[in-house]
């Protein structure tokens, strides 16, 4: 009798634990749903994993949410994350196979089928991904030699994406000797296989033209549309840009917005940012700064660094949002951490105003290395100043030289002074000093003209 009671109590205890786990699992799933609704995609998957672990098995709603989240996280450049792309493909395949005849899933099943079909524009060739990872340093250290070996293997296996990458290699001359004619030939070979990225690259070639390739607007439009018809978000976005500029297509801001919406639906963050600007300026749509902020926010959630910088400025000014110094700095730092040049420069300026020369110099240098002319001059000024503990004439000379190289007339004047006075380890050279001063004066005259 006692054994029966003990067994019964054990069963009840297990049932209560299971019920509690299922309840917590449901709560975690609801949290994941809320995160998705708020477009906080980075938080969705960890919450789903907790829910799945507690629930003990996968189910249709959880897998559906996982698939939709993975699609958002991939954005429109899935080749940059081969592991996530592969996981998404496998999840779609499982869902479509296992839940084909489950009642009540018609709309969700169609969504998953649509995602699965959209993934067809991307490669599934292992050697291509190895080549790409080595070429761009994605998860691997850059190794152009290895990239070239793997891309050749992928081409032998008939992968058109590898052909497109080979074209890029010949264009840049990083993995093999630069050869523009060979580059064009490989783009053409990949485009003949209807590779969506090669079609876009052919469109750009025909639009811009070069010494090896004739400009042809009609063919450019044809290739753009072929790429866009296959659902490539980058192509959809570029067509929107071209309508806005009136290049290839008649200038039409409303049609530009239509194309950006199509691109945004394909998770293209550049298009989301463009829609933000459209609403901010009232270009092609009614001016609405609140909607502008919404679109910039969407782009930020897709890790668009330029949108982070723009949204930071809106928080600083209180346009479309409540003014917030904290939010301004948070977004500015996030954008700078993504190596957006304007954000790095702005952050340097912010720290300079606050008297934090260590951080000011750090961010000015990063912006200067990225090519920001004013940042290079400001770094030089920091090292040249007697008001900081970091005065270093040699470093100041280095950065004045860099700023002068970028075309900064003020840096040229300072460089002239350094030569005249023999500063920063230079031998006094009045002639060179005058030459730099003359260059600055000539440049200033041209700017005023």
- 21 pLDDT band (50/70/90 cuts)? low
- 446 pLDDT band (50/70/90 cuts)? confident
- Rounded distance, CA 275 to CA 258, Å? 10
CA separation, residue 81 to residues 85, 137, 150, 274 (Å): 6, 12, 17, 24
Question: Which of 309-323, 337-351, 435-449 comes out lowest in average pLDDT?
Answer: 435-449
- Per residue, the 3-state secondary structure of 66-120, as one string, reads HHHHHHHHHCCCHHHCHHHHHHHHHHHHHHHHHCCCCCCCHHHHHHHHHHHHHHH
Read off the tokens for 448: 């005023």
- Rounded distance, CA 135 to CA 125, Å? 15
Length of the chain: 449
Compute the CA torsion angle 338, 343, 348, 350 (nearest 10 deg): -120
Question: Which of 72-76, 122-126, 186-190, 247-251 comes out lowest in average pLDDT?
Answer: 72-76
Read off the tokens for 49: 């994993």
End-to-end CA distance of the chain: 105
- Rounded distance, CA 154 to CA 103, Å? 42
- Rounded distance, CA 209 to CA 226, Å? 19
* DSSP summary character for residue 376: H
Task: Return the bridge partners of 210, or none.
Answer: 213
Those residues with Cβ within 8 angstroms of residue 353's Cβ, 6 or more apart along the chain or in another chain: none
- Rounded distance, CA 209 to CA 7, Å? 81
CA separation, residue 263 to residues 230, 315, 350 (Å): 12, 26, 35
Residue indicated by tokens 């490539």: 232
Q: Which of 430, 379, 429 is nearest to 404 (CA)?
A: 379
pLDDT digits (tens, 9 = 90+) for 55-80: 888 889 999 999 999 999 998 878 88
- Rounded distance, CA 162 to CA 148, Å? 10
Question: Which of 3-7, 252-256, 266-270, 404-408 comes out lowest in average pLDDT?
Answer: 3-7
- 338 pLDDT band (50/70/90 cuts)? very high
Q: Which of 228, 321, 207 is nearest to 271 (CA)?
A: 228
pLDDT digits (tens, 9 = 90+) for 259-281: 999 999 999 999 999 999 999 99
More confident residue, 378 or 4: 378
Which string of b and e fits 128-142 if b means at least 16 CB within 10 Å? bbbbbbbbeeeeeee
Task: Flag whether pLDDT at 5 surpasses 60.
Answer: no
pLDDT at 78: 83
DSSP secondary structure letters along 324-339: -HHHHHHHHHHHHHTT
SS3 content of the chain, % helix, strand, coil (to 5): 75, 0, 25
The percent of residues in the chain predicted with pLDDT above 90, rounded, is: 82
Task: Flag whether pLDDT at 332 surpasses 70.
Answer: yes
Task: Flag whether pLDDT at 11 surpasses 50.
Answer: no
- ∠ Cα 336 340 342 (to 5°): 90
Task: Flag whether pLDDT at 141 surpasses 60.
Answer: yes
Q: Tell me the CATH architecture of domain 367-449.
A: Alpha Horseshoe (1.25)
CA separation, residue 188 to residues 45, 183, 192, 395 (Å): 40, 9, 6, 48
pLDDT digits (tens, 9 = 90+) for 347-405: 999 999 999 999 999 999 999 999 999 999 999 999 998 887 889 999 999 999 999 99
Q: Residue 64's CB: how many other CB atoms inside 10 A?
A: 18
- ∠ Cα 435 375 444 (to 5°): 35
- Rounded distance, CA 281 to CA 291, Å? 11
> How confident is the prediction for the chain on average, in pLDDT?
91
Q: State the average pLDDT over residues 216-234.
A: 96
The percent of residues in the chain predicted with pLDDT above 70, rounded, is: 95
Those residues with Cβ within 8 angstroms of residue 261's Cβ, 6 or more apart along the chain or in another chain: 271, 275
CA separation, residue 136 to residues 11, 140, 143, 150, 269 (Å): 56, 8, 8, 13, 20
Q: State the average pLDDT over residues 326-332.
A: 97
Under a CB-based contact definition with an 8 Å cutoff, are residues 92 and 112 in contact?
yes
pLDDT at 76: 80
More confident residue, 418 or 105: 418
Indicate the CATH number for domain 126-230. Answer: 1.25.40.10
- Rounded distance, CA 399 to CA 414, Å? 11
Task: Flag whether pLDDT at 177 surpasses 60.
Answer: yes
Task: Flag whether pLDDT at 104 surpasses 90.
Answer: no
Q: Which of 325, 327, 326, 368 is nearest to 344 (CA)?
A: 368
Under a CB-based contact definition with an 8 Å cutoff, are residues 171 and 178 in contact?
yes
Q: State the average pLDDT over residues 285-313.
A: 97
Q: Residue 444's CB: how many other CB atoms inside 10 A?
A: 14
Those residues with Cβ within 8 angstroms of residue 289's Cβ, 6 or more apart along the chain or in another chain: 279, 280, 314, 319, 320
């Amino acid at each position: 009798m006692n054994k029966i009671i003990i067994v019964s109590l054990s069963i009840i205890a297990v049932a209560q634990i299971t019920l509690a786990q299922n309840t917590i699992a449901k709560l975690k799933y609801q949290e994941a749903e809320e995160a998705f609704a708020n477009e906080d995609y980075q938080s969705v998957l960890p919450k789903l994993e907790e829910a799945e672990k507690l629930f003990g098995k996968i189910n249709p709603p959880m897998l559906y949410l996982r698939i939709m989240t993975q699609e958002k996280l991939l954005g429109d450049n899935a080749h940059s994350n081969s592991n996530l792309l592969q996981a998404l493909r496998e999840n779609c395949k499982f869902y479509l196979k296992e839940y084909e005849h489950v009642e009540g899933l018609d709309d969700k099943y169609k969504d998953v089928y649509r995602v699965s079909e959209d993934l067809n524009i991307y490669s599934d060739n292992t050697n291509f991904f190895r080549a790409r990872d080595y070429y761009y340093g994605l998860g691997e250290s850059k190794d152009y030699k290895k990239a070239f070996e793997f891309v050749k293997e992928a081409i032998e296996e008939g992968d058109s994406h590898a052909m497109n990458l080979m074209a890029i290699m010949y264009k840049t001359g990083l993995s093999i000797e630069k050869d523009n004619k060979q580059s064009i030939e490989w783009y053409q070979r990949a485009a003949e296989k209807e590779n969506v990225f090669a079609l876009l690259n052919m469109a750009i070639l025909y639009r811009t033209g070069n010494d090896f390739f004739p400009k042809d607007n009609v063919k450019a439009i044809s290739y753009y549309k072929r790429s866009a018809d296959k659902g490539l978000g980058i192509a959809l976005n570029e067509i929107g840009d071209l309508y806005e500029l009136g290049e290839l297509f008649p200038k039409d801001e409303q049609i530009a917005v239509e194309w950006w919406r199509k691109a945004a639906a394909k998770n293209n963050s550049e298009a989301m940012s463009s829609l933000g600007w459209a609403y901010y300026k009232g270009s092609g749509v009614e001016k609405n700064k609140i909607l502008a902020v919404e679109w910039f926010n969407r782009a930020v959630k897709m890790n668009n660094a330029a949108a982070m910088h723009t949204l930071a400025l809106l928080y600083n000014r209180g346009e479309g949002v409540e003014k917030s110094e904290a939010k301004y700095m948070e977004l500015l730092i996030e954008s700078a951490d993504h190596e957006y040049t304007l954000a790095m420069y702005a952050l340097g300026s912010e720290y300079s105003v606050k008297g934090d020369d260590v951080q000011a110099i750090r961010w000015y240098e990063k912006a200067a290395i990225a090519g920001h002319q004013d940042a290079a001059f400001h770094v030089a000024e920091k090292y040249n100043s007697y008001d900081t503990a970091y005065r270093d004439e040699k470093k100041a000379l280095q950065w004045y030289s860099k700023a002068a190289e970028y075309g900064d007339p003020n840096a040229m004047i300072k460089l002239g002074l350094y030569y005249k006075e023999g500063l920063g380890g230079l031998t006094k050279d009045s002639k060179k000093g005058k030459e730099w001063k003359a260059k600055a004066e000539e440049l200033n005259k041209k700017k005023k003209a």
